[in-house]
Amino acid sequence: MINRVRSRRYRSALSLLSFVMPAFALYLLFLVIPMLQGSYYSFTDWNGLNKTYGFVGFRNFVEAIRDDHYFRSAIWFTAKYVVCAVVFQNVLALLLALLIESRRKAKGVFRTIFFMPNMLSVIISTFMWVFVFSKVVPALSEHKGLSFLGLSWLGEPSVSFWTLLIVSVWGGVGTLMLIYMSAIQGIPQHLKEAAIIDGAQPLHMFRYITMPLIAHALTICIFLTLNSSFKVYDLVYALTGGGPGRGTQVITMNILEEAYQGNNRYGYASSKAIILFLIIFVITMIQVTVMKKREVEA
């Protein structure tokens, strides 16, 4: 009897491993091993081509932080972009979720409309926005006399920042909206009814009932937007190419430029990638830890 139970457990464990191992092997092959190799190369002067290279210790990290003006500028621009993208995407997604959930009819239609941008490729949707900002908006400015539309949306760094933000919010708000809607739908109805009976106003219901009970969704959405905003590349590449000049260059573009686009300093680029990883790791750990405590308190 005991042997039969052990045999059954063994077959069950083997069956689970057969499902897990292919995914784990791919994860190991395409993420863990390259990350470990990149960590090693960050301490070398490898150019990505030669078989020989020298060990330079922390010289790459010191150069990136102390001497590389373009890298520091990319960090500063990325930080501004991350803060604005996280705030605007989450605020707008939460407002849309609340508005759609307050409607009794056509919820599915509105969900579909606001989620549609997520169904498009980032590159395709970005090229569409390039056409809008380079052709449609100037035409409207000329024919309607709206001077503010005549700004150089893709050619002026201070304006291009807001152009990037508009496109990122447009493309990212749909997924966050669905997460918030799912959390709102999970709020027990009897709590809402009790609050209404007690005379709670909509603002009080949002502050004392809705927000505490969707804190877990807020944690997830901020985590997702933090990660995607720090690692943004394709949107910026297709919309501005990091220009004009280097005015809209993010960290990921700076790293790839160092590794592949003429510089061929693969070891130095790897050290920048490690710095980016540490920045993301520290910020997301702080964010998750602080917000998880709020969930427990709620």
What is the mean pLDDT of the segment spanning 195-199?
Answer: 78
pLDDT digits (tens, 9 = 90+) for 52-95: 888 988 999 999 999 889 999 999 999 999 999 999 999 999 99
pLDDT digits (tens, 9 = 90+) for 103-133: 777 788 888 888 888 888 888 888 889 888 8
Residue 209: give its domain's CATH number.
1.10.3720.10
How many structural domains is the chain composed of? 1
Q: Tell me whether residue 88 is in a domain.
A: yes
Percentage of the chain surpassing pLDDT 90? 36
The token duo for 229 is 């905003």
Q: Distance (Å, rounded) from C-alpha 227 to C-alpha 222?
A: 9
Instruction: Kindly tell me if the per-residue pLDDT of 158 is higher than 70.
Output: yes
Task: Give the pLDDT confidence score for residue 5 in this predicted structure.
Answer: 56
Q: Tell me whether residue 26 is in a domain.
A: no
Q: Tell me whether residue 22 is in a domain.
A: no
Task: Give the pLDDT confidence score for residue 149 in this predicted structure.
Answer: 74
What is the mean pLDDT of the segment spanning 137-148?
Answer: 77
For residue 153, which of 145, 144, 161 has the smallest C-alpha distance?
161
Mean pLDDT of the chain: 86
Q: Tell me whether residue 110 is in a domain.
A: yes
pLDDT digits (tens, 9 = 90+) for 175-191: 999 999 999 888 888 88
Residues facing residue 279 across a β-bridge: none
Residues facing residue 44 across a β-bridge: 55
Q: Tell me whether residue 14 is in a domain.
A: no
Angle, in degrees to the nearest 10, between helices 157-185 and 69-102: 40
Q: Tell me whether residue 220 is in a domain.
A: yes
pLDDT digits (tens, 9 = 90+) for 246-293: 888 999 999 998 888 767 888 999 999 999 999 999 999 999 888 887
pTM comes to 0.87
Q: Which residue has the higher pLDDT, 72 or 192?
A: 72
The token duo for 174 is 């749909």
Preceding omega of 244 cis (within 30 degrees of 0): yes
| Contact assessment for residue 236 and residue 251, using Cβ atoms and an 8 Å cutoff | no
Instruction: Kindly tell me if the per-residue pLDDT of 134 is higher than 50.
Output: yes
Instruction: Kindly tell me if the per-residue pLDDT of 297 is higher than 50.
Output: no
Long-range CB pairs of 38-44, under 8 A, 24+ apart, other chains included: 38/270, 38/273, 38/274, 39/270, 39/274, 41/266, 41/267, 41/270, 42/267, 42/270, 42/271, 42/273, 42/274, 43/267, 43/271, 44/267
Q: Distance (Å, rounded) from C-alpha 258 to C-alpha 265?
A: 6
Q: Tell me whether residue 21 is in a domain.
A: no
Q: Tell me whether residue 193 is in a domain.
A: yes
Instruction: Kindly tell me if the per-residue pLDDT of 213 is higher than 80.
Output: yes
Instruction: Kindly tell me if the per-residue pLDDT of 201 is higher than 70.
Output: yes
pLDDT digits (tens, 9 = 90+) for 24-57: 899 898 888 988 998 999 999 888 888 888 898 8
Which is it for the CA torsion 92, 97, 98, 102, positive or negative? positive
- Amino acid found at 267: G
Task: Give the pLDDT confidence score for residue 23 in this predicted structure.
Answer: 87
| Contact assessment for residue 235 and residue 171, using Cβ atoms and an 8 Å cutoff | yes
The token duo for 144 is 């309607």
Q: What is the CA radius of gyration of the chain?
A: 24
Cα of first residue to Cα of last residue in the chain, in angstroms, is 48
For residue 168, which of 101, 225, 207 has the smallest C-alpha distance?
225
Task: Give the pLDDT confidence score for residue 296 in this predicted structure.
Answer: 47
